[in-house]
Each structure stands twice: as C-alpha cells, then as structure tokens.
Structure 1
Amino acid sequence: MLVPQSRTYESHGLRLHYADWGNAGAPVLILVHGGRDHCRSWDVLARSLQPHFHVLAPDLRGHGDSDWTKGGSYALTEYVYDLAQLVRAMAAPEIRLIGHSMGGMVSLIYSGSFPEQVSRLVVLDGVTMLPDTPKPPAHERISKWIGQLDKLHGRTPRRYRTIEDAAAQMVLYNKRLSRELSLHLATHGTRQNEDGTYSWKFDPYQRASAPHRLWPDDHVALWSRIACPTLLLNAGESFLAGPRAAGLERYFPQARVETIAGAGHWLQHDKPQEVLSAIRRFLGLGG
C-alpha cells in the first residue's frame, strides 16, 4: 500500500511537518486538514489522487507532528502564512488546494490573497464565516479570548489508556466512523505519554478564538478575488450553516456548490467515494 514520506519545513521559527505522497514533477495538490485533525486524515483521497498529482498534506502548526506555537497563538492568518511558506518551498508555479473545515477557510484566504497561485480550489464543509455573521464589539471579543486562554491554562490534557479508547472517543463525535478508520485517525492523531497513556497531538490552545480575526466583509472581499474554478462541497447533515450557505457561489467569480447527502461535517470520512467522485469530476479526472 502506498504510504507517504514524512518531511519538514520551517515557518515562523516552527518546524512544521507534512506528508509527501510523491509523484514529483506532477502538478502540486495540497490537502489542508481542519482543526484538531492531522495530515493522515486525508489518506483515502491522497492515495486516489496521487497518480495524477504531487500530493502534499501538511500538519498545521499546533497539530499532528508539527511544532506548537509559543504563547498559543493560532489565528487563521498564521496558518495561511505557513501554507505560503510550504508553497514557496515547493517552488511550484501553481497549486491546487483542497481544504476541510478550518483548512477550507485557510485555503479560501490563501486563494483570495494569491489568486495567481491557485488553479483549482475545493472546500469541504469549510465556509464557517457567512456574509451575514454578526461582528461582536471589540471589548467582547477580547474578553472572550482572555477567558478562553485562562480556562485552557489550567486544563490537563486528556489521557487515554489505549489507542482504542481514543478511537472510541472519536466515534462519540462522529458515529458514522468505522472502527478501522477511527483507529487509523487515533493512531496518527495521538502520542504516547511517559506513563504509557495516550493524548491528542494537537495543542489545546488552538481552541481559542483570536480577537483579531478576519470578519465577513474581509472574507467576501477575498472570495471576490479568487480567480480559479472553485467547488464548495457541503455536507447534507453538517452541524455548520448548511442550508444558510445556499447562494454562496454568487460571491465568487467561478464557484459552484454541491452537497453530499447523508454526510456529516467530516464528509470525506462519512462518504469517501461520493466525495472523491465529486472532486475527481471537478479536477477533470472523471467520476
């Protein structure tokens, strides 16, 4: 079975990890995972697309096998900076991007900031900031952020006796996960502690909402700059906006919205073949 090579690069003084699925010389395709996830979450899609692309899957800062930040700062724009450094390191004239959830937002921001770099964009249930999202007053945002950091400061990372126990916790959040997939995700998403237990690899501080985040008008302005064909692939049973996202394509020069029925937020896990077929059609590879 095809397995990726583990590689690293530097960004902001951090050592960041990515899975390199090979096929050097082919067009570059980057898979950007969501919050509290990791690069090996993409394995099914990566293996299928690798014959056609040089597939890379980064672990975002504070996730997987990448360094955590000093001070727990995880704004979307910092993830975008890291993505820009990876693209620069690859020296690719253009890339294709697929992002899930928070990774979808990162991909959208990058594509709107550097439209000349991106030739195709797929966002999986990743438009988490809708145009009509209210913007709380600055003092409320700062107070909320400080409260979140205070709470996280005293938090002890949860420990699991076995990887199987960690996998079972994942199934509680997504009951569609198979045992095999949950074990795969937990195996790559946990590290062993000194006492033999297991804890998640992600930095708990990435849960905090940065008060200096981008807001709806910023996102809409960036979407209007995305020059490439864009597929907004939503999940029919997501806990996100769902039906409220209808009509989002009007904010993009070249976008269409498709929905995967019967899938929750982690649609690439819930309906992998349907998601893969939609992506392959969009990338011109057939269904």
Structure 2
Amino acid sequence: MSIGQKGHDVQNTGDDHFVDIKGMQFHYVTWGDPSLPVLICLHGLRGYARTFDMIAHKMQDRCYVVALDQRGRGDTDWDPDRNYYTDQYVSDLEAFIDALNFKRVHLLGHSMGGANALMYTGRHPDRVVSLILEDSGPGAANPGSAGVARIFEELKKTPMAFSSWDEAEAFWRTARPNVSDAAIASRVKNSLKELEGELVWKHDQAGIAACRISPADGRGAPDLWPSVDRVDCPALILRGAKSDYLKLETATAVCERNDRFAMHEIAAAGHYVHDDNLTDFMKVVDPFLEENAGR
C-alpha cells in the first residue's frame, strides 16, 4: 500500500489524497489537524466524500475529519469485477484504516456507509471510540420499504449521461426535492465529470445498480443485528423524522437491544439527514463528539 497527496482543491475546503489498497486507488479528503482524534465519514450508495463538506468544517476543531470515496465512487477507482457489497466495503475500510496507521477512530456513516461503519465496529469494537449512524440500521436496506423501492426506481431510471450542467442539476433537484440548494450544487459538482462532450457519472452507476437490484447469491443486504450486539462504544442512531428508509421501530429496537445506542429523530429531515436539516443534525452530533472525542 502506498499513500500520496493530490493537493488542495482551492474551490472546496479540505485536502485531497490518494491511497493504494490492493491495486486500487482510493481517494479521500481531510480537514483539520492530524494530531486530533480521527473521525472517518462514509457516504451512502451514490454518495461521495465531499458530501461531508458542509459538516466537516464544523467538526474539525475537535476531530481530524477523513471522508472516503468508497470503491466505485467519486475519484476512487471502479471495480472491474463489480464487487460492490458490504463485506468488501468493510474489508476496504479495514485496509484504509491500517494504511493510514489510525489506531482508534470515530465513525460516521450515512445509509450504506452506516451499514459499513456498523459492521466494522462489530468486527473491531476495540478500535472504534464512537459511532454515528445517519439514517441507517439493521434491515433498512432490505426490500419492502418505501425507501428501498424509491432507491431501486432511481437506479433503474437514472440517465447514464447529460448534455449540460443545467440538465444534470434538474435531474438532481427532481431526485432530491427536499435537500438544500447547497446540497444540490455539491451533487452536481462532485458526482459528474465531462467526457467526450457529455457529462457522465463519476461513480460506477451501472455496476452499483446491478449489485443493488440483483445481488449475487448470498451477497445482498447482510444481517446487521449481530454487529449491533457487539458495539461497545457510545453510539448514535439519527433518523430523519420524515425518512422513508429507516423505520422508527428499527431505530428504537437498536437502542433497546444495546444500551450503548441513543436514538434521535431530526425534524424536517428525510433520508438525507444532514442535507435536509444541517442545523438540527449538528445540534445532536456536536455535543456527542465534544463529549467523546477525548476518550
């Protein structure tokens, strides 16, 4: 494994880096002082590292914030074998944390990233200082919920290219009608690139959709309840009050099963919690990190 820095993107906060893991180049962004406690942020299914731009600068006074482009997303390499499954994401995270020589970390994960963070914590409870799940929990990704049905439809109907930035912006505004203008601008800028006169996805849209809609045998959404049982650090589960993805009953059951978890509903937020209501998101996350960053 080798680590290299790409440099600073003057149009955004944070510094861009690359690390080689098992022959793939992984991109990540950092904010703050490397001597501070490490907070690793993991995005959702079609997300990217810089989705955490809006919150990283609010947390960098107490944490060294590290946001990873998971395989097939952002500026990280695509997997030619389309291995976009939870066990592989967690294996990547294990290798990433070891490559950067992080001994103990705080984890924050949204949706798919939350599942990956939870499974990592279950595997390595001694290395995780605190855990934050953003609209993510056991069974949330299983077929049957309105949120999963919505995501499947999005994956099936998403265009592979756009003819203009305005067209791309209109797509994202239709797909995410409730998120802020800043969140839409972030998606347009960070999820697309120009190629041969068109705008195409940075993420492996076709590969990710195939794995999510028609997973290989035995490689669908994993059972995360055993991971919940093994969490032995302070943990938050944050549910958007209007979420169609994570059920209130599930979030409540997590806390009943493991009293290390505390659940908060974020008002006026759906599945994309920090994009929908950043102010109330930070009202919960900020004191949680302040209390636990020094542990």
TM class by smaller structure: 0.7 to 0.9
Equivalents in 1 of 2:257, 2:103: separation in Å? 26
User: What whole-Å deviation, never above 9, does each CA across 1:149-168 have from its counterpart, x for those lacking one?
Assistant: xx99xx99621122232122
Which residue matches 1:265? Answer: 271
- Tell me if 1:177 matches 2:179: yes
Is contact 2:138-2:224 (8 Å) kept?
A: no
- TM-score, normalised to structure 1, is 0.85
Displacement of 1:188 in angstroms is 1.0
Equivalents in 1 of 2:235, 2:291: separation in Å? 16
Assess, with a 3 A threshold, how the Cα gap between structure 1 residues 53 and 2 changes in structure 2: closer, same or farther: farther
Matches within 5 A, 1:131-150: none
The residue type paired with residue 199 of structure 1 is V
Displacement of 1:237 in angstroms is 0.8
Equivalents in 2 of 1:179, 1:116: separation in Å? 39
Assess, with a 3 A threshold, how the Cα gap between structure 1 residues 107 and 43 changes in structure 2: closer, same or farther: same
Displacement of 1:100 in angstroms is 0.2
Displacement of 1:251 in angstroms is 2.5
Assess, with a 3 A threshold, how the Cα gap between structure 1 residues 225 and 214 changes in structure 2: closer, same or farther: farther
The SS at the match of 1:283 is: helix
User: What whole-Å deviation, never above 9, does each CA across 1:203-252 have from its counterpart, x for those lacking one?
Assistant: 12112233323766x42112111110110000111111323323221222
Which residue matches 1:35? Answer: 45
- Give 1:58's match in structure 2, choosing from 55, 68, 77: 68
Which residue matches 2:4? Answer: none
Equivalents in 2 of 1:27, 1:16: separation in Å? 22
The SS at the match of 2:224 is: helix
Matches within 5 A, 1:8-87: 8-87=18-97
Assess, with a 3 A threshold, how the Cα gap between structure 1 residues 4 and 242 changes in structure 2: closer, same or farther: same
Which residue matches 2:203? Answer: 202
Assess, with a 3 A threshold, how the Cα gap between structure 1 residues 83 and 226 changes in structure 2: closer, same or farther: same
Is contact 2:73-2:202 (8 Å) kept?
A: yes
List, as ranges, runs of 4+ consecutive aligned residues in structure 1 with deviation greater than 4 Å: none
The SS at the match of 2:230 is: coil
Is contact 1:235-1:242 (8 Å) kept?
A: no
Equivalents in 2 of 1:55, 1:156: separation in Å? 31
Matches within 5 A, 1:156-167: 158-167=160-169
Displacement of 1:104 in angstroms is 0.4
Unaligned runs of 5+ in 2: 1-10, 144-151
Is contact 2:85-2:220 (8 Å) kept?
A: no
Is contact 1:224-1:253 (8 Å) kept?
A: no
Equivalents in 2 of 1:259, 1:81: separation in Å? 30
Pick which of 156-165 and 177-186 moved more. 156-165
Is contact 2:43-2:49 (8 Å) kept?
A: yes
Displacement of 1:281 in angstroms is 1.6
Is contact 1:29-1:55 (8 Å) kept?
A: yes
- Tell me if 1:219 matches 2:224: yes
Matches within 5 A, 1:90-129: 90-127=100-137, 129=139
Is contact 2:136-2:246 (8 Å) kept?
A: no
Which residue matches 1:235? Answer: 240
Displacement of 1:284 in angstroms is 2.5
User: What whole-Å deviation, never above 9, does each CA across 1:57-81 have from its counterpart, x for those lacking one?
Assistant: 0000000000000121111111111
Equivalents in 2 of 1:158, 1:2: separation in Å? 26
Unaligned runs of 5+ in 1: 135-147
Equivalents in 2 of 1:10, 1:157: separation in Å? 31
The SS at the match of 2:187 is: helix
The CA RMSD over aligned residues, in Å, is 2.6
Percent identity, aligned pairs only, is: 27
- Give 1:189's match in structure 2, choosing from 188, 191, 208: 191
